[in-house]
């Protein structure tokens, strides 16, 4: 029996947020929130209210001739983007061609023998420059990564992202199921470095969970939240919240904002985690315990401060010194090459 997602907790919603107040709201928002109808005024959403095909033709009209990258999911995968049966590769092939070709594929009746077609993160301002400014929010002022996701009925496995995320649904109906970051131990996350789309994913099939193989997933579901978005609705996903995404109709699309408030020079925590796995994971238990004390003190404890360190000796502790941070990154790169 499949999972009845409607029995999960709903994500809290707002329908009264003024456009100009978005950054203020999200700056203080630590948990997911749905903004109903927030981008209902966008031209693409207006076209989608007429029909999904009208919206698709609108995108095709304003697309550039630059080729796009499309995932063609295997016919027997039910739209689920995942590994192949032997886990030696993935269950999709990668195609390249003009947007008009994808639009034609999506416009025709869904041929199950061909599998599902899915356009992943594609920079909106690059492929649709003429209509980019007509599909904006105040987040455009901070130069986010703004991308289009478009495809047929598809299922993207549970994963997390480091950037802050505002997903604006523009065509069709899209379902999200979210889990708090601390549920990682109950989600059965797979490989860190061999993944379908660059981020580690849960090995559990959300719609048909095998509780014999993944018993702790039942606990994760107690903390799960879900929402179905219609055209014009937005969902804010905080950093590192796990999320499953499903396109529920024959044509689905969202415009996605990713951004961070910190300087990019800091680097990726994922890289730090990966190196820690290589450098610390295999150490003897008593040495790992020692390093745990170091990490707790320097990273996760409120007790650590730098008041006892002269300013000239702060080094990596000086978060305001961009040049110092760059120097540290260069030294780390040199160390890794040894």
pLDDT tens-digit map of 42-55: 999 999 999 999 99
Supply the CATH number for residue 148's domain. Answer: 2.60.120.650
Same domain, yes or no: 277 and 201? no
Beta-bridged to residue 93, according to DSSP, are 72
Same domain, yes or no: 84 and 190? yes
Which residues constitute the domain of residue 201? 5-258
Backbone angles phi, psi at 268, to 5 degrees: -95, 125
Same domain, yes or no: 49 and 151? yes
Average pLDDT over residues 287-304: 92
Same domain, yes or no: 58 and 114? yes
Boundary of a domain, candidates 258, 282, 307: 258
Overall number of domains in the chain: 2
Boundary of a domain, candidates 238, 258, 278: 258
Same domain, yes or no: 283 and 209? no
Mean pLDDT of the chain: 93
pLDDT tens-digit map of 182-235: 999 999 999 998 999 889 999 999 999 999 999 999 999 999 999 999 999 999
Boundary of a domain, candidates 223, 258, 293: 258
Helix 52-62 with 43-50: angle, nearest 10 deg: 140
Produce one character per residue of 297-318: b if its CB has 16 or more CB atoms within 10 Å, e if not: eeeeeeeeeeeeeeeeeeeeeb
The rounded distance, in Å, linking the Cα atoms of 135 and 128 is 10
Percent of the chain whose pLDDT exceeds 70: 98
CB 223 within 8 A of CB 128: no
pLDDT tens-digit map of 111-165: 677 889 999 999 999 999 999 999 999 999 999 999 999 999 999 999 999 999 9
Instruction: Please name the residue that has the structure tokens 């598809």.
Output: 154
Instruction: Please name the residue that has the structure tokens 């995942």.
Output: 82
Torsion of CA 8, 12, 15, 16, to 10 degrees: 170
Other CB atoms closer than 10 Å to residue 68's CB: what's the count? 20
pLDDT tens-digit map of 234-289: 999 999 999 999 999 999 999 999 999 876 667 788 888 999 999 999 999 999 99
Same domain, yes or no: 170 and 275? no
What DSSP string runs through 255-276?
EEEEE-SS-GGG--HHHHHHHH
The rounded distance, in Å, linking the Cα atoms of 315 and 250 is 54
Produce one character per residue of 225-241: b if its CB has 16 or more CB atoms within 10 Å, e if not: bbbbbbbbbbbbbbeeb
Same domain, yes or no: 53 and 191? yes
The model's pTM: 0.92
Query: Is the model's pLDDT at 95 over the cut of 90?
Result: yes
Is the Cα dihedral 126, 127, 132, 135 positive or negative? negative
Residue 265 is predicted with a pLDDT of 62
Same domain, yes or no: 227 and 274? no
- Encoded tokens for 95: 């195609």
Residue 1 is predicted with a pLDDT of 63
CB 165 within 8 A of CB 256: yes
The rounded distance, in Å, linking the Cα atoms of 226 and 220 is 13
């Amino acid at each position: 029996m499949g999972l009845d997602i409607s029995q999960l907790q709903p994500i809290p919603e707002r329908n009264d947020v003024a456009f100009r107040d978005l950054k203020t709201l999200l700056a203080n928002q630590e948990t997911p929130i749905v903004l109903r109808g927030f981008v209902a005024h966008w031209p693409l959403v207006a076209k989608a209210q007429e029909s999904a095909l009208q919206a698709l033709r609108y995108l095709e009209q304003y697309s550039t001739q630059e080729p796009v990258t499309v995932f063609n999911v295997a016919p027997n995968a039910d739209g689920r983007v995942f590994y192949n049966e032997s886990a030696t590769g993935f269950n999709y092939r990668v195609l390249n061609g003009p947007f008009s070709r994808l639009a034609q594929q999506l416009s025709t009746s869904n041929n199950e023998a061909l599998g599902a077609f899915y356009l992943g993160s594609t920079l909106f301002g690059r492929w649709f420059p003429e209509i980019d400014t007509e599909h904006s929010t105040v987040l455009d002022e901070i130069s986010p990564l703004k991308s289009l996701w478009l495809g047929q009925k598809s299922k993207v496995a549970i994963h997390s992202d480091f950037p802050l995320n505002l997903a604006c649904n523009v065509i069709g109906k899209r379902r999200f199921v979210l889990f708090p970051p601390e549920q990682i131990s109950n989600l059965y996350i797979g490989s860190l470095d061999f993944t379908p789309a660059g981020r580690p994913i849960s090995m559990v099939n959300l719609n048909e969970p095998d509780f014999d193989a993944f018993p702790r997933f039942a606990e994760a579901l107690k903390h799960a939240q879900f929402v179905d978005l219609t055209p014009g609705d937005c969902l804010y996903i905080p950093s590192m919240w796990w999320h499953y995404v499903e396109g529920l109709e024959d044509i689905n699309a969202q415009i996605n904002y990713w951004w961070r408030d910190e300087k990019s020079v800091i680097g990726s925590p994922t890289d730090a985690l990966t190196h820690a796995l290589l450098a610390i994971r295999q150490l003897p238990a008593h040495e790992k315990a020692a390093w745990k004390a170091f990490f707790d003190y320097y990273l996760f404890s409120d007790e650590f401060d730098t008041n006892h360190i002269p300013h000239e000796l702060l080094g990596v502790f000086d978060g305001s010194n961009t040049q110092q941070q760059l120097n540290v990154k260069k030294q780390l790169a040199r160390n890794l090459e040894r």
